[in-house]
Amino acid sequence: MTYRAPVKDMLFVMKELAGIDAVAALPGNEEAGYDTAAAVLEECAKLNEGVVAPLNRDGDLQPSSFSNGAVSTTPGFKNAFRQFADGGWQGLHHPTELGGQGLPKLIHAACIEMVNSANLSFALCPLLTDGAIEALLTAGSDEQKAAFIPNMIEGRWTGTMNLTEPQAGSDLSLVRTRAEPQPDGTYKIFGTKIFITYGEHDMAENIVHLVLARVTGAPEGVKGISLFLVPKFLLNADGSLGARNDVHCVSIEHKLGIKASPTAVLQYGDHGGAIGTLIGQENRGLEYMFVMMNAARYAVGVQGIAVAERAYQQAVQYARDRVQSRPVDGSLPGAAAIIHHPDVRRMLMTMRAYVEGCRAMALVGAAAYDASHAHPDREVRHQNQAFYEFLVPLIKGYSTEMSLEVTSLGVQVHGGMGFIEETGAAQHYRDAKILTIYEGTTAIQANDLVGRKTARDGGAVAKAIAAQIEHTEGQLAQRSSAACRAMHKRLAAGRQAFVDAVNFVAGQTKASPNAVFAGSVPYLMLAGNVVAGWQMARALMVAEDRLAAGEDADFMQAKIATARFYGDHILSKAPGLRDSIVEGAEAVTSMALEAF
């Protein structure tokens, strides 16, 4: 099945909802306006459609393999990664002084979606490298930045994130990997790390591992964790590759999905200790790693949008080709393509509306990130930072849960053929499942949304978002179209449901934590639904105006129809979620544990 990058929709969102003109007005972004975005996205589409996407099925059939301590990636991956790196895509949004192109996150986010739609397994390598670069930019020394970041941007080296251990999954207070200080200022690292994405592979000359470990004598718990840079190959004084470090892959996992991405078990220190250097200060490792994790959490949310887009495109193609049964309205004399059947259209519209809503939410979030870093006004920076941080668990949690529903619908549209691996529909479904788990499960995103993003400030940021949504409702109310009237009704009900949930969470987290956290994931899903629906409402009004001006009638009519569908079929779920959050806790917690 071919993949076509949805460049037109991305550019519509970037211009009309995310405000790329305002992003281009920020200091340092002067060359990053709409025309630049259009040119970059077109080039990115060519690479991913022509080179990366054709390898997706190959990776599922011929996954990475492990033999004698070495990992061989899927045939074609190494060449594709070379083309990816040579095109400058790894450094798209990283600083120019270190070899990057310095483009805003808004443009980079659209490119992330394309590479992940093309090939989710392949895209994980640059995703983790981006995270490693972000962590070094935040806390690395000048020497570490100069020695490692340019090589990662060039794609000669890649990066990893080493958190998890056999006994320490989400609870990083249990990390036991140890770091022993050496007289020369380095550390020797000993321990085992699991679930290390691209922890070993053959696509680059060196792999830069960022490793959480405890310095000898450090405090117990999360306060005693430090972050270390441990390369696969040590560096000589001139920066060239030197001796092999004492970090080795001992196996790779056999997985439900993303099979081409090698998930490694890494052993540190079996032969005297892996040599690492401290990043930042001792005992602040978790703080630094969260920089990497937040970058990765946003990117995983975009992965959800990406795999859902790929599943949608494949389902539409199949629905146009598959002939089965006469239309229920008798509009054709015999059997017709299944896209004529109302329920197939309902499934396709559900897929499309989810994808477009989440894409809009993610790109609006990216623009807020850009403003939070580059806007000259301190207060504007602060407001955008708070907005972006509130959106991250929604983008990660809602978009990945959405991707499971959309890829499942993709299988359903195919019917029995969707259950057969040859069609490829099942691969998207299998690949999507991990997105709700890694970089913090949906429940962990919900805990973050409840604790750090809602209860901590008494719901202030959430209510400020609700006020913006109410402003959009006012704009809808001034319009007479059936689509706007319907969306006004749904958005108003959704916003009120969201406010009720925010008040419950902000008011009850300390007094009744079990009651609040029983509804934490529904709260995340409600917030994601409403924020994405808000963006679809904004898109609806823009599309009506553009249609009235005679611009691109087919695209604008489709956008109006999709937004209306989101309101009537997805946003309409918000009040029910509100009830389960505010009134449903006792049903979750009342059963005795021994009764399960």
- The C-alpha atoms of residue 593 and residue 72 are separated, in whole angstroms, by 46
Residue 291 has pLDDT above 90, yes or no: no
Of the residues 153, 170, 197, the one at which a domain ends: 153
Structural domain includes residue 265: yes
**Per-residue model confidence (pLDDT) at position 289:** 87
User: CATH code at 188?
Assistant: 2.40.110.20
Query: What is the three-class DSSP state of 550?
Result: coil
Q: Are residues 547 and 483 in the same domain?
A: yes
Segment 33-62 mean pLDDT: 98
Handedness of CA 210, 216, 217, 221 (dihedral sign): positive
Segment 275-280 mean pLDDT: 98
User: CATH code at 117?
Assistant: 1.10.540.10
Residue 114 has pLDDT above 80, yes or no: yes
Q: Are residues 128 and 166 in the same domain?
A: no
Could you give the angle at the alpha carbon of 159 between the alpha carbons of 154 and 162, nearest 5°? 175
CB under 8 Å to 485, separation ≥6 — which residues? 476, 479
Q: Report the phi/psi class of residue 217: left, alpha or beta, with left for phi > 0 and alpha for psi in -120 to 50.
A: left
Beta bridge partners of 275: 188
Structural domain includes residue 77: yes
**CA dihedral defined by 318, 112, 77, 44, rounded to 10 degrees?**
80
Q: Are residues 13 and 111 in the same domain?
A: yes
Strands 206-215 and 178-181: parallel
Residue 12 has pLDDT above 80, yes or no: yes
Instruction: Using CB atoms within 10 Å of the CB of residue 167, give its burial: 0 to 12 exposed, 13 to 18 middle, 19+ buried.
Output: exposed
Question: Which of the following is catalytic: 16, 200, 356, 439?
Answer: 439
Over residues 119-159, the pLDDT tens digits come to: 999 999 999 999 999 999 999 999 999 999 999 999 999 99
Structural domain includes residue 596: no
Residue 323 has pLDDT above 90, yes or no: yes
Over residues 178-222, the pLDDT tens digits come to: 999 999 999 999 999 999 999 999 999 999 999 999 999 999 999
Q: Are residues 51 and 147 in the same domain?
A: yes
Structural domain includes residue 292: no
Over residues 20-35, the pLDDT tens digits come to: 999 999 999 999 999 9
Segment 159-163 mean pLDDT: 96
For residue 68, count other CB atoms closer than 10 A to its CB.
4
Q: Are residues 114 and 251 in the same domain?
A: no
Strands 263-268 and 247-252: antiparallel
Over residues 75-85, the pLDDT tens digits come to: 999 999 999 99
Of the residues 249, 283, 317, the one at which a domain ends: 283
Structural domain includes residue 515: yes
pLDDT-derived band at 290 (thresholds 50, 70, 90) equals confident
pLDDT-derived band at 292 (thresholds 50, 70, 90) equals confident
Structural domain includes residue 504: yes
Q: In this structure, which amino acid lies at residue 219? A: P
Q: Read off the DSSP letter of residue 323.
A: B
Residue 97 has pLDDT above 90, yes or no: yes
Structural domain includes residue 345: no
Over residues 563-596, the pLDDT tens digits come to: 999 999 999 999 999 999 999 999 999 999 999 9
Of the residues 109, 138, 153, the one at which a domain ends: 153
φ and ψ at 563, to 5 degrees? -65, -40
Average pLDDT score, the chain: 97
Q: Are residues 449 and 553 in the same domain?
A: yes
Question: Within 13 Å, how many C-alpha atoms sit on residue 7's CB side?
Answer: 17
Lowest mean pLDDT among 58-67, 165-174, 269-278, 466-475: 165-174
Beta bridge partners of 189: 179, 274
Q: Are residues 469 and 547 in the same domain?
A: yes
Q: Are residues 149 and 255 in the same domain?
A: no
For residue 367, count other CB atoms closer than 10 A to its CB.
25
Q: What is the span of the domain harbouring residue 467?
A: 441-590
Over residues 499-549, the pLDDT tens digits come to: 999 999 999 999 999 999 999 999 999 999 999 999 999 999 999 999 999
Say if CB 363 and CB 582 are below 8 A apart: no
Q: Are residues 183 and 145 in the same domain?
A: no
Structural domain includes residue 571: yes
Instruction: Using CB atoms within 10 Å of the CB of residue 457, give its burial: 0 to 12 exposed, 13 to 18 middle, 19+ buried.
Output: middle
Over residues 215-227, the pLDDT tens digits come to: 999 999 999 999 9
Q: Are residues 148 and 166 in the same domain?
A: no
Residue that has been written with the tokens 């301190």 in this structure: 378
Q: In this structure, which amino acid lies at residue 26? A: L
Count the domains in the chain: 3
Q: Are residues 149 and 205 in the same domain?
A: no
Closest CA to 571 of 480, 493, 501: 493
439 noted as active-site residue: yes
Residue 390 has pLDDT above 90, yes or no: yes
The pair of structure tokens assigned to 17 is 């909802």
The pair of structure tokens assigned to 209 is 């591992």
Q: Is the pTM of this model over 0.85?
A: yes
**Per-residue model confidence (pLDDT) at position 487:** 98
Q: Are residues 143 and 163 in the same domain?
A: no
